[in-house]
Amino acid sequence: MPQFLNDLFGMLSNAGPIQWQVAEQLALNVAAGGSTEPNVDPLDRVKFEEIASISARYVGAALDEIGLMTPIDLGSRIEVINRASWAKKSLSAWKPLLEEIGIALSATPIESGASKPTDEQDLSNAGDMFGQNLANFSDLSNPEALGDNEMMFKFISQISQMIAPAMLAMQIGSMIGHLAQTSFGAYDLPLPRVERKGLIVVSSNVTTFANDWSLDLESVKLWVLTREMLMLVVFSSPHIDKSIRELVSAHARGMKMDADEIASKLQNVDLTDPSALESAFGDPEAMFSGQQSLEQIWAAESITAGIAAIEGFVHYVGHSIIEKTLGNVSLLEESLIRRRVTRSEAVKYGETLFGLTLDQSNIEMGEKFISEIVDLSGLDALANLFNSENGLPLPSELESPELWLDRFK
């Protein structure tokens, strides 16, 4: 049997819901593009800190007008980091949410036409059995040779259930690594994070975006820092944090692995090539069953509605701040809309994994919701989003803001 299979089954003998070491190694490798990434220029750090102090004053004044308290000194702590550092921090920051998904998947029966291995089946014996099955084929890289053997398909279906923690780890690592290549800060994927004591900014990504769109770099830095500060304030609300975490957990409870789809993917790769296996495991479609429970559908719609409202709030307040400081920002906003519309597959997979859909239509609905709230009841009504338990709108309320306002009369 190939050595890498021995190593794989040895690793699985201590498998938990997610193989965190696998996820981190892949995330760091993808984030850095497989090479050594330089540290951030100290002068760039200083410039970000200077702009952060300006942004913090405007953000603080805007929140005071709404009636929201800032939980921390917004400009006091900012980390300007590279992509690999972002990947490591984000994997740690999202670990509780990701563990919810891993635990839910490990506790849920895997959908498969093949029988699940018995508890007594030893993984090392399974590895030997896998090697013996592989030895029956003269050309291991020929998918047709494997595909014609029904017994082999069933066997791979069984093995796929064992390697699920490593597969999920590879998908998570790949997602976070690719997110690191484009994310500006902590909240490009707007979700609760463990650390909420300061800002993080990926300097190289901000610079790349400004250069690609021929934008003034200092203006982009101001926008990024303003958005990150507002997102930090939003997710520092215990009500927001609790609501989103509970919805992500509810969405996770409806997730199921599709062992037959995994087996089908594995049949189409060279099983002796670790890189081919990694590629197969990195495909989101190779992991989950397409069927959704009613609870999962409700949770996904509720997460999307809540995050859309949060995005709408951040845009409403952030836009007013940027206009006051920069004047006409139409080119910047057009560039940001195009960036969102063409969001990467990693962002889309992250949304799918956590149960939200942030396409342009949902973002615009969130912006419209916030604008109508202000028109109907004034700026101070927005404080109910963060200061009230269950303050985030339901999907029906996102479309009809007056229904949301009725709850606080």
Looking at residues 224-242, what average pLDDT do you find? 93
pLDDT per residue as tens digits for the range 20-34? 888 999 999 999 887
Tell me the domain boundaries of the chain: 295-409
pLDDT per residue as tens digits for the range 345-383? 888 888 888 989 888 899 999 999 999 999 999 999 999
With a pLDDT cut of 90, the percent of the chain lying above it is 47
155: which 2 tokens?
């066997």
**What is the pLDDT at residue 114?**
43
| 234 touches 240 (CB < 8 A) | yes
Looking at residues 56-63, what average pLDDT do you find? 92
The model's confidence at residue 83, banded by pLDDT at 50, 70 and 90, is very high
**What is the pLDDT at residue 327?**
84
pLDDT per residue as tens digits for the range 135-159? 443 344 444 544 445 555 555 555 5
* Reported pTM: 0.81
Buried b (16+ CB within 10 A) or exposed e, 262-282: bbbbbbebebeeeeebbebbb
pLDDT per residue as tens digits for the range 99-129? 888 887 766 544 444 444 444 444 444 444 4
pLDDT per residue as tens digits for the range 176-194? 999 999 999 999 999 999 8
**What is the pLDDT at residue 170?**
83
Please state, in angstroms and rounded to a whole number, the distance separating the CA atoms of residues 253 and 263: 23
Which residue's entry shows tokens 């709108």? 393
pLDDT per residue as tens digits for the range 194-205? 876 789 999 999
With vertex at residue 321, the alpha carbon angle to CA 60 and CA 40, rounded to the nearest 5 degrees, is 80
| 224 touches 322 (CB < 8 A) | no
More confident residue, 109 or 163: 163
With a pLDDT cut of 70, the percent of the chain lying above it is 71
Residues 6 or more apart whose Cβ sits within 8 Å of residue 406: none
Polymer length in residues for the chain: 409
Looking at residues 65-90, what average pLDDT do you find? 85
Phi, psi of 258 (to 5 degrees): -110, 90
With vertex at residue 51, the alpha carbon angle to CA 49 and CA 52, rounded to the nearest 5 degrees, is 60
Looking at residues 262-283, what average pLDDT do you find? 58
Looking at residues 149-175, what average pLDDT do you find? 67
- DSSP calls for 19-36: -HHHHHHHHHHHHTTTSP
**What is the pLDDT at residue 176?**
94
More confident residue, 346 or 408: 408
Flag whether pLDDT at 336 surpasses 50: yes
Number of helices and strands in the chain (H, E): 21, 2
The model's confidence at residue 265, banded by pLDDT at 50, 70 and 90, is low
- DSSP calls for 240-269: HHHHHHHHHHHHHHT--BBHHHHHHHHHTS
**What is the pLDDT at residue 103?**
81
